[in-house]
Copies of this chain bind each other. A is one copy, B any other.
Amino acid sequence: MEDRLYKNIPHKTIERLSQYRRALQIYSDKGKTNIFSHEIAALLHITAVQVRRDLMLIGYSGSLRKGYDINDLVMLIGDLIDSPEGQKVAIFGMGDLGRAIINYFQGKRDKLKIAAGFDTNPEKFSHEIAGVNCYPVEKAAEVIKEKGIKIGILTVPGDQADETVRIMVEAGIKGVLNYTPTPVEVPDDVYLEEYNMISSIEKVAFYVKERK
């Protein structure tokens, strides 16, 4: 099974591929058609070896003299990480962070669209944000199934995280990005990614302190 191959790509490589694509766009906009591994590396402040290794894993070969064809590479990365028919995302919790994410993300990616927001506060229902409608959470299952949403971003208050993620999973969400400081649990067939901003800030603070 060909797809199996992709399963063996390290998580970190997937993250970098997403960043390579952005970096390539910058070079492409400058009118360049080809790029060397060390140029990609410089843009991301990583090593050229790592770039080549990542590209090896996705089976792309560059030209020895001209490096990589930017268009080809952008397309190949797209083939790998994008879903051809596109994927839809829902935001749970239309507060400060939820709104910031919508304003920031919407329109950035062709194949990835925020298709709905959910909240418990009726004040949020009236107006849309960057073209995204806000629905009451009670309608989550209905809206998510109707629109075929499979990805959910969790930005409710921490004490609502468990209950909300339960609703998300129930409604058919298969990937959760949790920005809440509360770790949540999902079934095995749901992919979970958590990011704790306070930990990040404290981590930076710790290493600043230690270096003194």
Residues of A within 8 A of B (CB): 3, 6-7, 11, 14-16, 18-19, 22, 43-45, 80-83, 87, 89, 96-97, 99-101, 103-105, 108-109, 112, 150-151, 153, 174-177, 181, 183-185, 189, 191, 193, 195-211
Contact = CB atoms under 8 A, between A and B. Distances in A.
A204 B176 contact: yes
Nearest to A212: B174
A45 B183 contact: yes
B109 A208 contact: no
21 contacts: A3-B210, A15-B196, A18-B199, A19-B181, A19-B199, A22-B198, A45-B184, A83-B205, A87-B205, A87-B208, A96-B96, A104-B197, A105-B197, A109-B198, A109-B202, A151-B204, A174-B208, A174-B211, A175-B207, A177-B200, A191-B204
B112 A206 contact: no
Contacts of A3: 210
B202 A112 contact: yes
A100 B103 CA distance: 13
A210 B99 CA distance: 28
A113 to B, nearest CB: 11
